[in-house]
Structure 1
Amino acid sequence: MNFTSRIQLQQGDITKLKVDAIVNAANSSLLGGGGVDGAIHRAGGSQILDDCRKIIARQGGCKTGEAVITTGGKLPAKYVIHTVGPVWNGGNKNEDQLLANCYINSLKLAVEYNVESIAFPNISTGIYHFPKDRAAEIAVKTVDDFLKTNQQIKQVIFICFDDENLQLYKDLLGNGS
């Protein structure tokens, strides 16, 4: 498959990226948690949590597959788009579509806020136990399909924290080691 050159791959810490928006693999409470969610809340400071509390007051959290946007607080990114990935339940509970929705709804929100550069972590592959290879395939295909119909977003970075995810994305994007 030939993917758009607007998709890039990096390994590292999403909280350090200088992009318009980073995506947070949030939980439905939006109050921070472990993994990337906790790291983003810690690095971004109280402004992110304050914005999350306003969203909770308005709509009561965030459902699986949906996305909401807050300030980036102290982060280099202007915005944080919080999306709630599905917990893996064997693949029979619409997990693939819910995960694809995380990417689609995050990108739609990015377009609405005139974001040109966005970074995604590996959504649902940590404590939610989504199979990493399957999650990577869904992420790359969903983002690539979206970019084919939308020119506003100039750069999408998949940022992998661990070597296993990095290699899966390298293999998918055709720039393997």
Structure 2
Amino acid sequence: MNASLECFQGDIAHQPDVDAVVNAANARLHPGGGVAGALHRAAGPELDRACRPLAPIRPGEAVITEAFGLPNRHVIHCLGPVYGVDEPADDLLAACYRNALTLAEAHGIASVAFPAISAGAFGYPPADAARVALATVLTTLPDCPHIERVRFVLFDAESAELYRRTLATLQQSESEKR
């Protein structure tokens, strides 16, 4: 894998140096709270109009639109599982990341920024969400040769540190297998 992985604290709606940002969407792809609200506010009403014909989506699915007023080319919308409701939660969450990367690869996108899908209002335990997200990205990237950079943009410093530690542990474990 030649792609770099980054974990930062920041605002997913302000990532001007990446080609696509990922929206932690709701099934109807409407604006809303959290990541979806921030991205829709920054993109403008065109994003909502572009999403309407693509909805509804099911947990684990991903769709792509233009980014409109955002500083990116595309928005990839993923519906993560509601923890304790949508099962098997780990498989559905992994599908979000895998499907988003597959869409990015198919559209020639070289850099992608992810939020912590399902780890907010959908109640996914943060450590489990980080493990599933990062492990899935690490195993999917070899099948996505055009993707050069994946960034995880976390809302707070504690989450960013959790993702950095989880990534280091997964990379260490992978290197020990070799």
Fold agreement, TM-score > 0.5: yes
**Which residue is 1:9 aligned to?**
7
**Which residue is 1:35 aligned to?**
34
Task: State the SS of the aligned residue for 2:116.
Answer: coil
Displacement of 1:118 after TM fit? 0.3
Alpha-carbon displacement from aligned partner over 1:4-28 (angstroms, at most 9, x marks no partner): 6611111100111021100000000
**Which residue is 1:45 aligned to?**
44
2:138 to 141, 144, 148: 144
Q: Is the 8 A contact 1:4 1:144 kept in 2?
A: no
Task: State the SS of the aligned residue for 1:152.
Answer: coil
Q: Is the 8 A contact 2:3 2:150 kept in 1?
A: no
* Amino acid paired to 2:10: G
**Which residue is 1:89 aligned to?**
84
**Which residue is 1:79 aligned to?**
74
CA distance in 2, matches of 1:73, 1:5: 26
Task: State the SS of the aligned residue for 2:76.
Answer: strand
Residue 126 (str. 1) matches residue 124 (str. 2) = no
For the aligned residue pairs, the C-alpha RMSD in angstroms reads: 1.7
Q: Is the 8 A contact 1:47 1:71 kept in 2?
A: no
Q: Is the 8 A contact 1:121 1:158 kept in 2?
A: yes
CA distance in 1, matches of 2:3, 2:158: 22
Q: Which runs of 5+ in 1 are unaligned?
A: none
State the aligned residue count.
Answer: 168
Displacement of 1:149 after TM fit? 2.8
Q: TM-score, normalising length from structure 1? A: 0.90
* Amino acid paired to 1:32: P
1:69 to 64, 69, 94: 64
**Which residue is 2:176 aligned to?**
none
Q: TM-score, normalising length from structure 2? A: 0.89
Identity of matched residues, % = 43
CA distance in 2, matches of 1:120, 1:150: 16
